[in-house]
């Protein structure tokens, strides 16, 4: 170890307050060791400063750069750290891309906060290009305006971020393009679906018109005395037309349900209002098939859409009659808390448990082999499922193969039970109220007018036919009809409801009216409620037509 010079010894003695020779001798070894430690520490910091990967610098807010390490020089494209010791003015013009304003902002922050961490900026390199960096700056508290800084090159990170952003933008563009394609495809599908629905509605209406005329003519023949061979042919024609009618009706209903064109009209009804007409309708159907229809109602009232609920129960009863070869059918109502469960039981062939879900699929029928064995078209339960979703009711199926099935639906029950509606019924001794009654039939299809004239004439009615209001007034010759049978859609956009109103005003009488139409829209039903006239859907069932006429004319 080199011995300190006399000058060093005097400096240390003055620093430590040592004056005497004896004191210098006694403290010399400790002082020398401390000096060596300080020198080693300084060398270590110097080595770290010169070999650090990060850029390190010291600068004054008043004068500019004082020191910089080689890493900072390399970042900025210089060979010697001395080349980056810019003055304050050069810092603004040669180093910071943001110029004097950015440098002033940094100084202001440091004076107020004492430090600045995670500051991202751009520095200008020697070749004029820019460099993305992250800076951490610290203002030395004991030396006014002295700043120590650490600089990290984040160019790769920025490029990665830009690439990631570019990939995100490209992905977003692809997603948007794909979304636009899907939206266009959806819009095209919806447009095609609307076009299909309109076509189906129009085609169904156009097909139902001649089908209605044919059904009326066949019904006229069925009521006549014909030779056995001709009677068989008429009956087979009647069954074929009935099948076509069922298919068209189901297709039209499925179309309207799929396009959400059906809105429920919830009201309070007595249970016998709902079940009574169905019992009347299916009593004869069950008897014709050799079955016994039993009913268990109870004095209840329900909140529901009468038309939609009637369609559900009609499909349950229709399936029960179709798939029961012998035995009985039960239509029952059972209370379950605040709900009323309407059930249809049969003693038919039953359904295997693993096939229960498939019975609600469109055009699906179980255990059907040859086309001649088909009964219906397999849309009934698909319609039931859609209507139940609209009404938010629960449909349940329970079945035992070989023993029968139970179809049920739960309906909200009302605590109030309205008084029974007194229906006009023929008085004892009045007999058939139709012979001799004068009826006006209003339709824009001549074939339907001819068919209605034949059927009503066979029932003994005096029939006047017309295609519009003017021809009706002319044919009536100033004498009011006792009842009007009017088609809903006439020529030139005129509806039968308007003609009925005008005829009632013309004759100053509340003439009973029945509207016959293939239109099953809610708008049509609202018009009929305002007119206070019953509705019969085309193709008209002669039995139902006769029952309605007898009730109105009784």
Kindly state the tokens that stand for 535.
């509705």
Structure-token match 């209840």, residue found: 300
Angle at 146 between CA 140 and CA 152, to 5 degrees: 85
For residues 548 and 534, the answer to whether their CB atoms sit within 8 Å is yes
The tens digit of pLDDT for each residue in 64-118 reads 898 899 999 999 999 899 998 998 888 888 888 888 898 899 989 998 898 999 9
Structure-token match 């933008």, residue found: 169
Report DSSP letters for 303-357, one per residue: EE-HHHHHHHHHHHHHHHHHT--SSEEEEEEEEETTEEEEEEEE-S----GGGTG
Q: Go through 220-252 and write b for each residue having 16 or more CB atoms within 10 A of its CB, e for each that does not.
A: bbeeeeeeeeeeeebeebbeebeebbbebbbbb
User: For residue 311, how many C-alpha atoms fall within 13 Å in the half-sphere facing its CB?
Assistant: 26
- Give the DSSP H or E segment for 182: helix 155-222
Helices (H), 403-476: 446-458, 469-476
Give the Cα separation of 110 and 103 in Å (integer).
Answer: 11
Reduced to 3 states, what is the DSSP secondary structure of residue 414? strand
Kindly state the tokens that stand for 419.
């008084």
For residues 471 and 440, the answer to whether their CB atoms sit within 8 Å is no
Nearest one of 488, 507, 500 to 531, comparing CA atoms: 500
Q: What are the mean pLDDT values of the chain's consecutive 10-residue runs (554 residues total)?
A: 49 46 58 77 75 87 89 91 89 86 90 91 91 92 85 89 90 91 85 69 67 78 81 77 68 65 77 84 82 88 85 87 89 89 90 72 50 49 82 87 89 74 40 87 89 90 93 92 91 88 92 83 69 79 84 84
Strands 404-414 and 301-304: antiparallel
Which residues have C-beta within 8 Å of that of residue 400, sequence separation ≥ 6?
Answer: 350
For CA atoms 69, 70, 75, 81, the dihedral sign is: positive
Give the Cα separation of 321 and 323 in Å (integer).
Answer: 6
Strands 394-400 and 404-414: antiparallel
Q: Is 470 exposed, middle or buried (0-12, 13-18, 19+ CB in 10 A)?
A: exposed
For residues 395 and 409, the answer to whether their CB atoms sit within 8 Å is yes
Give the pLDDT confidence score for residue 448 in this predicted structure: 86
Give the pLDDT confidence score for residue 203 in this predicted structure: 63
Reduced to 3 states, what is the DSSP secondary structure of residue 381? helix
Give the pLDDT confidence score for residue 392 in this predicted structure: 86
Phi, psi of 448, rounded to the nearest 5 degrees: -70, -40
Strands 483-487 and 438-442: parallel
Which residues have C-beta within 8 Å of that of residue 226, sequence separation ≥ 6?
Answer: 234
Give the pLDDT confidence score for residue 39 in this predicted structure: 76
Give the pLDDT confidence score for residue 304 in this predicted structure: 87
Helices (H), 52-97: 70-75, 88-90
Give the pLDDT confidence score for residue 383 in this predicted structure: 79
Give the Cα separation of 212 and 436 in Å (integer).
Answer: 24
The tens digit of pLDDT for each residue in 190-240 reads 777 667 666 666 666 666 777 777 777 887 887 788 887 888 887 777 777
Distance from chain centroid for Cα 38: 78
Q: Is pTM, for the whole model, over 0.75?
A: no
Whether omega before 539 lies within 30 degrees of 0, making that bond cis, reads: yes
């Amino acid at each position: 170890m080199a011995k300190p010079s006399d000058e060093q010894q005097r400096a240390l003695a003055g620093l430590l307050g040592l004056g005497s020779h004896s004191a210098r001798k006694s403290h010399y070894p400790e002082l020398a060791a401390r000096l060596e430690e300080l020198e080693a520490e300084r060398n270590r910091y110097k080595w770290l400063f010169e070999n650090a990967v990060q850029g390190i610098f010291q600068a004054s807010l008043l004068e500019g750069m004082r020191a910089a390490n080689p890493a900072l020089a390399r970042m900025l494209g210089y060979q010697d750290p001395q080349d980056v010791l810019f003055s304050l003015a050069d810092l603004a013009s040669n180093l910071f891309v943001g110029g004097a304003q950015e440098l002033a902002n940094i100084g202001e922050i440091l004076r107020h906060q004492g430090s600045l961490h995670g500051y991202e900026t751009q520095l200008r390199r020697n070749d004029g290009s820019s460099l993305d960096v992250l800076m951490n700056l610290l203002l030395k508290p004991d030396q006014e305006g002295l700043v120590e800084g650490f600089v990290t090159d984040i160019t790769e990170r920025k490029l990665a971020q830009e690439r990631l952003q570019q990939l995100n933008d490209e992905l977003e563009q692809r997603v948007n393009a794909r979304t636009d394609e899907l939206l266009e495809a959806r819009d095209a599908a919806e447009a095609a679906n609307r076009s299909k629905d309109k076509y189906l509605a129009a085609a169904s209406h156009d097909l139902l018109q001649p089908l209605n005329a044919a059904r009326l003519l066949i019904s006229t023949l069925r009521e006549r005395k014909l030779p056995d061979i001709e009677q068989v042919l008429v009956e087979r024609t009647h069954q074929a037309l009935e099948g076509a009618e069922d298919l068209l009706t189901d297709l039209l209903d499925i179309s309207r349900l799929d396009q959400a064109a059906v809105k429920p009209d919830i009201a309070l009804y007595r249970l016998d209002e709902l079940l009574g007409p169905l019992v009347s309708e299916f009593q004869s159907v069950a008897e014709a098939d050799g079955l016994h229809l039993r009913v268990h109602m109870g004095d209840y009232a329900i909140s529901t859409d009468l038309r939609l609920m009637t369609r559900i129960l009609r499909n349950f009863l229709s399936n029960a009659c179709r798939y029961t070869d012998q035995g009985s059918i039960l239509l029952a109502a059972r209370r379950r808390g605040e709900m009323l469960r309407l059930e249809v039981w049969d003693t038919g062939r039953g359904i295997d448990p693993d096939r229960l879900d498939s019975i609600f699929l469109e055009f699906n029928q179980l255990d059907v082999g040859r086309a001649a064995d088909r009964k219906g078209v397999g849309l009934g339960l698909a319609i039931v499922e859609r209507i139940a979703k609209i009404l938010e009711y629960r449909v349940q199926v329970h079945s035992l193969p070989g023993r029968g099935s139970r179809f049920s639906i739960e309906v909200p029950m009302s605590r109030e039970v309205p008084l029974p509606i007194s229906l006009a019924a023929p008085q004892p001794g009045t007999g058939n109220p139709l012979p001799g009654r004068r009826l006006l039939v209003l339709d824009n299809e001549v074939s339907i007018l001819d068919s209605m004239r034949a059927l009503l004439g066979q029932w003994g009615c005096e029939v006047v036919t017309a295609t519009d209001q003017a021809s009706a007034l002319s044919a009536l010759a100033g004498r009011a009809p006792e009842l009007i049978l009017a088609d809903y859609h006439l020529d030139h956009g005129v509806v039968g409801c308007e003609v009925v109103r005008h005829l009632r005003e013309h004759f100053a009488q509340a003439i009973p009216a029945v509207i016959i139409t293939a239109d099953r829209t809610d708008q049509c039903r609202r018009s009929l409620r305002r007119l206070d006239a019953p509705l019969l859907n085309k193709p008209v069932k002669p039995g139902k037509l006769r029952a309605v006429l007898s009730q109105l004319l009784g």
